[in-house]
């Protein structure tokens, strides 16, 4: 795992190299995905079934066999161990409670001329959520995508989840039951994204697609954007942990927080930033200790080698500058008074405050969404939320009297844009 210091002469270039990553940039990948989308768009169910059999070795012989009934989802939930059932229910309740606070309402006001202006908030009609599948699948992703949609008032939520060789994680199905998902199809990859975007005989076209997936899913979401809305182009998972070498910090905790992201993927990113050289060395030692016993140590080790870093900064100001430069998906502040740092942090997907708030809690049950901007996109993007499943329409009502001063203004501006029909249209309202 590389070690960097802001005092290195080439620190800026080293950091730029560390952060360099493009989610979807391979020409062969894009061509493959475009071909799949085209085939699904024109071939419908038969192509989706064929590709699911080919890529996932799914035993289904009909499209009907790829859809799960609501009874099957309910059964999966009912058959859970009581402890697991309670944990899943707790997570769902907390996610719902948080997102209910995000609901936006329509509003109007009256201007000085007696005209009414406002905004109408409307939920989307139908959305598709993509959930990674197989045995290594994530029921938490179901909750984080479906619950905000339902809270927003979306009428129909369609879930797609790949089932390699027909195998599904019962927890994913149980989560779909809890989140009140309307329909579930056991398909994945670019073909699932295409089916949601354009519709097939069995799968209805949606208005927006959300949820994480592999590079084929990311490329497909980008390709269908415009036909449908998307949440984001998700890259590998990231965490940046910041500390200042105080006695209260435990190096083994900090190391494990870094490894909790590194074990996701060989191209996941874990960065530790500290003002203490002693702490940096202690965390490096604890990482090696933990790697000796973690089940996914091989993945974590590759991740740390490929994209991980331990960064020494001179002081808190430099630490904040590095954080904002990285714009991490997850940011942990392992300090005594994390609130004091909030004003300096401009770019982060989710901010975990204090030593007892590991990113892992946010992944599952804190309440805020775990679908977060990656690859530096926290500079301009937000976590998935209820607002992603609502759209806004402007409301403009002009009375006869109130229209006249605005029409005169519009007339003048339209003339200066050389749009005569615009000008006359407005002029009729105040010269009549």
What CATH class has 2-21+235-366? Answer: alpha beta
Return the beta strands (E) in 329-431 as ranges. 330-334, 350-353, 390-397
**Res 24 pLDDT > 80:** no
pLDDT band at 44 (very low <50, low <70, confident <90, very high): very high
Fold type of domain 27-230 = Rossmann fold (3.40.50)
Instruction: Give the residue numbers marked as catalytic.
Output: 329-330
User: Quick one: average pLDDT of 362-384?
Assistant: 96
d(CA 421, CA 427): 10
- Parallel, antiparallel or unpaired: strands 229-230 and 208-210: parallel
State CA 76 to chain mean position distance. 26
Q: How many angstroms separate the CA atoms of 169 and 158, rounded?
A: 18
pLDDT for 367: 97
- pLDDT(194) > 70: yes
Using pLDDT thresholds of 50, 70 and 90, give the confidence band for residue 90: very high
Report whether pLDDT(134) > 80.
no
- pLDDT above 90 for 351: yes
Separation CA 138–CA 146 (nearest Å): 13
Q: Is 148 helix (H, G, I), strand (E, B) or coil?
A: helix
Task: Count Cβ atoms below 10 Å from residue 109 Cβ, excluding itself.
Answer: 10
Determine how many CB atoms are found less than 10 A away from the CB of residue 155.
12
The sheet with strand 269-274 has its strands ordered as: 2-5, 309-312, 269-274, 238-243, 330-334, 350-353
Neighbours of 378 (CB within 10 A): 24
Work out the pLDDT band at 137, boundaries 50, 70, 90. confident
Q: Is the pLDDT of residue 135 over 80?
A: no
When pLDDT is averaged across residues 173-180 and rounded to a whole number, the result is 98
The label of the residue with tokens 């060395």 reads 281
Distances (CA, A) of 197 to 193, 360, 361: 6, 32, 33
- The confidence score (pLDDT) of residue 136 equals 66
Q: What is the mean pLDDT of the chain?
A: 96
Please compute the mean of the pLDDT values over residues 283-293 and round it to a whole number: 97
Write the DSSP string, 260-324: HHHTT-TT-EEEEEES-HHHHHHHHHHHHHHHTT-TTHHHHHHHHHHH-EEEE-SSHHHHHHHHH
Query: Is residue 221's pLDDT more than 70?
Result: yes
Query: 398-430 pLDDT, tens per residue?
Result: 999 999 999 999 999 999 999 999 999 999 999
Q: Where in the chain is the domain with CATH 3.40.50.1980?
A: 2-21+235-366, 27-230
pLDDT of residue 335: 97
Q: What is the pLDDT of residue 7?
A: 95
pLDDT in tens, 105-127: 999 999 999 999 999 999 999 99
- Please give the pLDDT value at position 22: 75
Angle between helix 277-291 and helix 297-307 axes, rounded to 10 deg? 150
Q: Tens digits of per-residue pLDDT, 200-213?
A: 999 999 999 999 88
Q: Hey, is 258 helix, strand or coil? A: helix
pLDDT band for position 154 (cuts 50, 70, 90): very high
pLDDT at residue 323 above 70?
yes
């Amino acid at each position: 795992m590389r070690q960097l210091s802001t005092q290195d002469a080439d620190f800026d270039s080293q950091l730029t190299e560390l952060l360099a990553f493009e989610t979807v940039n391979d020409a062969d990948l894009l061509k493959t995905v475009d071909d799949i989308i085209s085939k699904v768009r024109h071939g419908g169910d038969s192509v989706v079934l064929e590709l699911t059999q080919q890529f996932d070795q799914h035993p289904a012989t009909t499209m009907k066999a790829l859809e799960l009934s609501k009874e099957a989802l309910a059964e999966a939930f009912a058959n859970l161990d009581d402890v697991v059932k309670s944990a899943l229910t707790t997570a769902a309740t907390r996610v719902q409670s948080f997102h209910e606070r995000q609901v936006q309402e329509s509003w109007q006001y009256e201007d000085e001329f007696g005209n009414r202006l406002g905004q109408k908030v409307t939920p989307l009609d139908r959305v598709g959520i993509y959930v990674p599948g197989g045995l290594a699948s994530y029921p938490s992703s179901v909750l984080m995508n479906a619950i905000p949609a339902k809270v927003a008032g979306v009428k129909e939520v369609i879930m797609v989840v790949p089932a390699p060789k027909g195998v599904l994680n019962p927890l994913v199905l149980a989560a779909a039951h809890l989140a009140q998902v309307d329909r579930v199809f056991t398909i994945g990859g670019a073909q699932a994204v295409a089916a949601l975007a354009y519709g097939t005989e069995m799968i209805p076209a949606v208005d927006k697609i959300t949820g994480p997936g592999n590079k084929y899913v990311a490329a497909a979401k980008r390709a269908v954007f415009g036909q449908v809305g998307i949440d984001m182009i998700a890259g590998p998972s990231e965490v940046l942990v910041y500390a200042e070498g105080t006695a209260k910090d435990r190096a083994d905790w900090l190391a494990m927080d870094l490894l909790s992201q590194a074990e996701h993927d060989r191209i996941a990113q874990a960065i530790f930033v500290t003002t203490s050289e002693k702490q940096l060395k202690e965390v490096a030692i604890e990482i090696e200790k933990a790697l000796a016993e973690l089940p996914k140590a091989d993945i974590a080790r590759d991740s740390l080698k490929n994209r991980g870093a331990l960064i020494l900064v001179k002081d808190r100001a430099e630490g904040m500058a590095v954080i904002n430069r990285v714009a991490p998906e997850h940011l942990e502040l392992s300090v005594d008074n994390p609130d004091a740092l909030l004003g300096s942090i401009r770019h982060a997907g989710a901010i975990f405050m204090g030593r007892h708030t590991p990113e892992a809690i946010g992944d599952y049950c804190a309440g805020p969404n775990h679908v977060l901007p990656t690859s530096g996109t926290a500079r301009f993007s937000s976590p998935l939320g209820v607002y992603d499943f609502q759209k806004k329409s402007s409301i403009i009502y002009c009375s006869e009297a109130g229209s006249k001063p605005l029409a005169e203004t519009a007339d003048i501006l339209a003339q200066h844009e050389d749009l005569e029909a615009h000008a006359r249209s407005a002029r009729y309202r105040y010269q009549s």
